[in-house]
Homo-oligomer: A and B are copies of this chain.
Amino acid sequence: MQITERFTLAIHTMLCISYFSDKLKVTSTFISQSTNSNPVVIRRLLGQLKEADLIEVRAGVGGAYIKKDLKDITLFDIFTAVDAVGNDFFNFHSNPNCQCPIGKNIHSILDEHLTNVQLAMNEEMKKTNLEELLSETKEFF
């Protein structure tokens, strides 16, 4: 059980746009070459990131641009944009036996604990923003 490649692909995409968009036109083909992925896959990803209001994509002329202050875009925003699961991060088996004391109460017992796990993950993702990631990139470069 893994989080899809889409997530790291989207972070990579956002970093490409952040790093390059003032120097050159960042197209889906350009990003697909940096990520070693497929232009159509990237375009779908760009659509999701645009939908979440994180970027602007110029139809026709081409190119993607960040729409917010880099400080205000966190890993959580990107995760939510491309891998949204809402409140259902944990997948429940359906119709547990309501004749059984465990089956009858399994949601009452578990829901809160599982929600807390999801929230802990979200909070940790919120701690990392794009500005920070970009400055780390420049240290390596």
The distance in angstroms between the C-alpha atoms of A9 and B96, with both chains bound, is 10
* Bound Cα distance from A11 to B103, whole angstroms: 11
Q: What 8 A-B pairs have minimum CB-CB distances, sorted nearest first?
A: A120-B124, A105-B140, A34-B100, A2-B91, A101-B141, A36-B95, A117-B124, A34-B103
Size of interface on A: residues with Cβ below 8 Å to B: 59
Copies of this chain, how many? 2
Cross-chain contact A8 with B93 (CB below 8 angstroms): yes
Q: Chain A interface (Cβ within 8 Å of chain B)?
A: 1-9, 11-12, 15-16, 19, 33-37, 75, 83, 85, 88-97, 100-106, 108-110, 113-114, 116-117, 119-121, 123-125, 127-128, 133, 136-137, 140-141
